[in-house]
Structure 1
Amino acid sequence: MKRLWTPAWIARHVAMVVLVVGFLGLGWWQVSRAAAGNSLSWGYAVEWPIFAGFVAYVWWREVRLARRGAEESTEAAVDPADAPADEPSPSVSDGPVRPAVRRPVRVARVPAVGAGEDADLAAYNRYLSWLNANPGARPGDYPG
């Protein structure tokens, strides 16, 4: 819980309150304009509270993720080897399963070795290499 009271989190809390209050105020302003006869303001009167709800939802989700990260870090600090023998050690099935961070797969660009080369594919590859060698040329200028 202390993690949510760092200077960065205090700034996020303040920003959320300012945005929600501001968006709700703008919504009320649009309601007053719509009541005065501006029919377009009815749409904006509905839109501003939706924006405020979105800001509140994003803030709530970020707080929840930060608290979950704090709980996982404290659970990771407990060594299962230090647990008494009569208590079962935590297993993989305990708690939510999170996907592991994976590194990107690097693939070497090696041409595939086939039994024979397709004549149409070879002609198309020659055409593409000619276009690449002649960047200002048009497709109709190809001599082949």
Structure 2
Amino acid sequence: MPTPGGAKPSRPCDNYDTVSETGPVPGTLDAMRWLWTPAWIARHVAMVVLVVGFLGLGWWQVSRAAAGNSISWGYAVEWPVFAGFVVYVWWREVRLARRKETLATEPPADPADAPTAVTTPAVAAGSRPAVRRPVRIARVPAASEPAEDTDLAAYNDYLSWLNANPGARPGDYPG
């Protein structure tokens, strides 16, 4: 209600809606808005299509098994298991994305509480050492020329003699 003389009230009205300015409230649909992005809608649709398709194939196998095809009983069980696996993977991905979302919106921890430097504890006797990433080492060729192998030189001479004398037999080699 305006005050006389056009002055604005010094305090906000009691019926002012502050809920819309506080952000999403946990447990509401507004908190799950990230599940309705185009990528997630595609995942939801794919999950529904796969589950309906797998259950339909399972029902088809049940009807074939009832008609006398005994091997179809195994498939009648297998297709619903596939549908359950699709639901499990979808549920796990939603939980993982929700966990990442809550970590992203969580305020950072107080810097006074955080340790300044993380030190690696010394390996105690009987404990398992930490697994570390392998280190790549560049191989540099040796600076000096390697000594010539006498057996290799003799074999190369033999091959060149055989090439120069195409009709000769290996027993004709003079060396």
TM above 0.5, yes or no, is: yes
Q: Counterparts of 1:24 and 1:6 in 2: how far apart (Å)? A: 27
In the superposition, relative to structure 1, how do residues 23 and 11 fare at CA in structure 2: closer, same or farther (>3 Å)? same
- Partner residue in 2 for 1:106: 136
Larger radius of gyration: 2
Q: Counterparts of 1:50 and 1:63 in 2: how far apart (Å)? A: 20
Q: Counterparts of 1:18 and 1:104 in 2: how far apart (Å)? A: 44
| Aligned pair partner of 1:51 in 82, 105, 123 | 82
| Aligned pair partner of 1:32 in 42, 63, 84 | 63
- Partner residue in 1 for 2:110: 80
- Give percent identity, aligned residues only: 78
Q: Which has the higher helix share?
A: 1
Alignment of 1:1-144 (within 5 A): 1-75=32-106, 77-78=107-108, 80=110, 89=113, 105-109=135-139
In the superposition, relative to structure 1, how do residues 60 and 90 fare at CA in structure 2: closer, same or farther (>3 Å)? farther
Deviations, residues 11-54 of structure 1 (Å, cap 9, x unaligned): 10011011101101110110011000011111110110111011
In the superposition, relative to structure 1, how do residues 8 and 104 fare at CA in structure 2: closer, same or farther (>3 Å)? farther
Task: Detail structure 1 runs of 4+ shifted over 6 Å in the superposition.
Answer: none
The one of the two structures with greater contact order (alpha-carbon pairs below 8 A, sep at least 6) is 1
RMSD: 2.9
Deviations, residues 90-143 of structure 1 (Å, cap 9, x unaligned): 78xxxxxxxxxx9874333369xxxxxxxxxxxxxx9xxxxxxxxxxxxxxxxx
Counting matched residue pairs gives 97
Q: Counterparts of 1:106 and 1:55 in 2: how far apart (Å)? A: 40
- TM-score for both structures, normalised by structure 2: 0.48
Aligned AA (2:36)? W
Structure 2 residue ranges without an equivalent (≥5): 1-31, 116-131, 142-151, 153-175
SS in 2 for 1:80: coil
